[in-house]
Chain A
Amino acid sequence: MTANKEKRRVISRDAARRRRQVESEVFVDLSRLLPFQQSVQDHLDKPSVIRLTLSYIRMHTLLKGKTGIKVEASHAVKCGQVMESGQEWRGCDRGRDDEEKKTDNVEASEETNMFLRILEGFLMVLSTEGDMIYLSDNVSKYMGLTQTELMGHNIFEYTHPCDHEEIRNNLRLTAEEVWCGAKRDFIMRIKGALTHRGRSSNLKSATWKVLHCQGRAKVCVAPSSVSCLLLTCQPLPLSHTLLSTHTFTSQHSMDMRFTYCDQRMTLLLGYSTEELLGRSIYDLCHILDTNCLTKNHLNLCFKSQSVSGQYRMLVRGGGYVWVESHSAVIPSVRPSKSRPGAHQPLCILCVTYVLSGVEEPSLQLSLDQAVHRYLR
């Protein structure tokens, strides 16, 4: 009796082992087909293999839908015009020999790499559910996690819960936007496994990294219509930058009152530093841009970094200029043994780029301006 049972158990064990064997083999086959180097392929676990396969197929569907449209008519929201690119679609490059194709390919890859390097960011393709279908391979440089680890996962697993609402809003696509190339520009916090020195660490000691995501929504009008979000994600802050004469820096307390501002401000906008101390930035800007400033302020408070949109700052005496600010919250620095300087409280640092000349110099938009103009 027991011998039978034992026998049956052995048989079932063998059968199970064989099944597992077969399955493993299929997984190996599948992983070999993925476009990664062998060493990467070998170290993928089974769920990852499936995840990456899914990503591959989805990207293909996405791009296939694209090639169906020969001449890409890109409706340009910018410049207020409809531009039609007369460019021939180079995706289907028939009638070109391999050698040409190869050089093109290499060129394209170099261009892309350079682009991403200059931008200091990586490309992310998000499905409408938030799955990170594709990430460019330099993502590891900025996030510390590799392409293979992240691709296929859902973005909501990696981002700060308070930002989920905003991300969801950005993923939603309204009907009008489908045809008008909906633009997206937002800031989110994502887990990054990089140490301060730039080496990758583990997810356990992951910190929140602030990413500035810009891009557009894309809809494929194909039989299997897929829509997704194409984003370039740049971690903030950007690196050392040389400031031009048309830029000024300012420091603010957390309520956006000036605590310091550099001399360029005087040259560009006419206010002296003393005048500004203690005044709120909201006072100095065009009333219609309050929304923009508020959003910027909120981003700073929650996410610690922000890129404002373009808004207007009033010039002393009349008129305004268009500016854009890149800001960050600077953590407070207490004087210590190694850093025996003055105590620096928590503050906001803004680098403001002046984009235009003084527009409408005679227009009085605030009481202040009127005072300065007439009571000088």
Chain B
Amino acid sequence: MSDRNAAAGGGDRARGEPAEDVLVEENHSGSVSLPSLMTPSSAACMSLSMEMPRKRKGSLDNQDTKSSSIPDADMEDDQNRSDGEDQNVKIKCFREPHSQIEKRRRDKMNNLIDELSAMIPTCNPMSRKLDKLTVLRMAVQHLKSLKGSASSFSEANYKPSFLPNEELKHLVLKAADGFLFVVGCDRGKIVFVSESITKILNYSRAELIGQSLFDYIHPKDMGKVKEQLSASELYPRERLIDAKTGLQVQADLPVGAERLCSGARRSFFCRMKYNKISIKVEEKEFQASTSKKKESQRYCTVHCTGYMRSWPTSHLEVDGDGEPDKQDSSYYSCLVAVGRIHSHSTPQVNGEVRVKPIEFITRFAMDGKFTFVDQRATTILGYLPQELLGTSCYEYFHQDDLPHLADRHRKVLRSKDKIETDCYKFRTKFGSFVTLQSQWFSFVNPWTKEVEYIVSTNTVISYDPSQTSRSEVKSELSSNSKTSEDDCNKSLQVILGISTTPGAMIYAGSIGTQIANELLDFNRMNSSSSSGSISPFSLPQDKCPQTHNQISNNVPNGGATDMEIPGKSSSEDEPQGAAFSGGESLMVENSQLDLDSVVGPGLSSLSNDEAAMAVIMSLLETDTNLGEAVDFEEMHWSS
């Protein structure tokens, strides 16, 4: 069997060199012969009979343990290496028809040729499939061109390497995220450090070479590092791990010799300083300097592995810090090691435990009312899901966040993308606030093309139990309104006396409703079909649709601007009257407005006064179901 293989090996080499050359290969002989055993399957157009005798020819030279050529029948995987496979098949006395073998070989070759043609730029634009020979010729050309552009010093004794050495170095350092360093054992002087340290610890080489390693190590780890570098007097008993059995070996070795012998391995973790970047900003405060106090110094965990090496001092140029009369027989020993940063370690900022942020999911309808609340919300918000369902999310948002959240609400209804909110505060059951950040997207029913609900993935940013005092909550509750962070505009509250008058009824929920309504109206405007209004608070839309939309646009934005509301007084009557009079005129004006400008942020098209009026109007109209003046005292408020 091995004869045949050997023969196959001998016969197939295209260059017809003697088989002994195989053994000259610097690498393991066993493995080299493997590729050479490939039969020229590409020339398999010949009949079987021709092939076989040729293979028989050849030397018995490459006998040795060319069982390497025998493919592993033992391995469970199907190797699918054509050469191995072929041998295997041949050995098994043609259980498969030879044509099958040949076909497989051809296919494999063809695949390779195809891949090659895909990689060669000149082959690519060709529309028709090129024949093998042409592809190969083009490959030759391409390789020649590639070699030409690379560094062109190819001396005879220069070891050719697959990659230019610089490139390889960069690849290795990039993959390993490490740096090479050599430190002297006696004082920890950094003798050498590779360039990659710049990328890792942000120090330049010049800064480090000649310095003591201990300057850059966390104080608590200094002992550890010293021990790893040091001589034996302090630590008489070595503890080594036997690599094969993994057992600890207590080696009572002669002090000093073994520990510092070349090749003795070291492996330890230590925390090393890294240099903060200096951002090129004018403000001085951002420029970090290395002379910061130690407490504020940042450390990262570096895994150092390497081995000890020693050189006789007579061979080295010692820097002169050693006395010249030191014995010549002494050795300068160093640790030659590689330091790697571990990706899964975040440098330990004191006391902070990095915890995965808690997320929970909620869904609400178009108008902001919760339709689904994840169970996890309870642990965070304190409310049971059923307590939240049906209520508007705006009732829980902190006052300051209403503007931007309403704006996002508006956005998400109109776009298909995920909208991220900024951090905002959400009131928990107990009155405190948690800071959340959410990602919203609206789910559109593919058949009705309407927004069915909005899915919100909420991430907890922080718990801040000291936000709102309970007393504040109480006073809000006593004001008969459901919430008091209702309005985005404090001045509005003052004017309309929301917190004090039983009659005034501004719900936070109405914000959501309006936003929803405005979308509906917009849709209705744009589409011929008339969809029924959803919100119970909706106005008789026919009356003043544009106004309504315009106004509700301004609701959240109103908070942002500094609105001067005419007739600022504590009495209710005047503002109301003003509102209505203003409102009417506004209505008239607005009806002339273009539809497109309605949907966009309409605040810019109105002056502050008008905007204020618009807000008041909308709020009042929403709650009253009527477009006319109403008597507030007689209103019935549903809850």
Taking Cβ atoms with an 8 Å cutoff, the residues of A that contact B are 13, 16, 19-20, 22-24, 26-30, 33-37, 39-40, 42-48, 50-51, 53-61, 63, 66, 74, 76-87, 90-91, 93, 98, 101-102, 104-106, 108-109, 111-112, 114-116, 118-120, 123, 125, 134, 136-137, 140, 144-149, 151, 153, 157, 161, 183, 185, 191, 193, 199-206, 214-216, 218, 230-232, 237-247, 249, 262, 288, 309-310, 322, 324, 328, 330, 333, 349, 351, 353, 355-357, 359-360
Contact = CB atoms under 8 A, between A and B. Distances in A.
A118 B74 contact: no
A185 B343 CA distance: 8
Contacts, number: 382
B213 interface: no
A44 B35 contact: yes
A242 B266 contact: yes
B72 interface: yes
Nearest to A61: B119
B563 interface: no
Given A24-B43, A35-B162, A144-B28, 9 more contacts: A23-B43, A33-B143, A57-B146, A91-B170, A118-B338, A119-B178, A157-B81, A238-B305, A241-B266
B176 interface: yes
B75 A191 contact: yes
B28 A51 contact: no
B345 A310 contact: yes
B166 A243 contact: no
Contacts of A134: 162-163
B164 interface: yes
A203 B113 CA distance: 26
A36 B163 CA distance: 11
Interface string B254-283: 000001000011111101001011000000
A303 B343 CA distance: 22
B45 interface: yes
B271 A118 contact: no
B71 interface: yes
A119 B178 CA distance: 10
Interface of B: 12-15, 17, 21-22, 24-25, 27-28, 30-38, 40-43, 45-46, 65, 67-77, 79-84, 108-109, 112-113, 115-116, 119-120, 132-133, 136-137, 139-140, 142-144, 146-147, 151, 153, 159-178, 180, 194-195, 198-200, 202, 220, 223-224, 227-228, 235, 238-243, 245-248, 259, 264-269, 271, 274, 276-277, 298, 300-301, 303, 305-307, 336-338, 340-348, 350-351, 353, 355-356
Given A47-B38, A123-B171, A39 B112 contact: no
A183 to B, nearest CB: 4
Contact of A56 (B71, B84, B136, B162): B162
Nearest to A262: B248
- The dominant DSSP class at the A interface is mixed
Contacts of B266: 241-242
Contacts of A214: 175-177, 340, 343
A203 B30 CA distance: 9
12 contacts: A36-B160, A39-B24, A42-B13, A43-B25, A78-B177, A79-B300, A204-B72, A245-B227, A249-B241, A310-B345, A322-B301, A351-B241
Given A16-B45, A47-B108, A203-B84, A238 B267 contact: yes
A80 B163 CA distance: 32
A324 B269 contact: yes
Contact of B28 (A13, A200, A216): A200
Contacts of A119: 176, 178, 305, 338
A239 to B, nearest CB: 5
A146 B32 contact: yes
A261 to B, nearest CB: 11
A330 B247 contact: yes
Contacts of B151: 101, 105
Given A53-B116, A57-B120, A60-B146, A105 B269 contact: no
B346 A80 contact: yes
B119 A16 contact: no
A90 B36 CA distance: 39
Contacts of A193: 30-31
Contacts of B239: 242-243, 249
A102 to B, nearest CB: 6
B175 A230 contact: yes
Nearest to B76: A161
A168 to B, nearest CB: 16
A310 B301 contact: yes
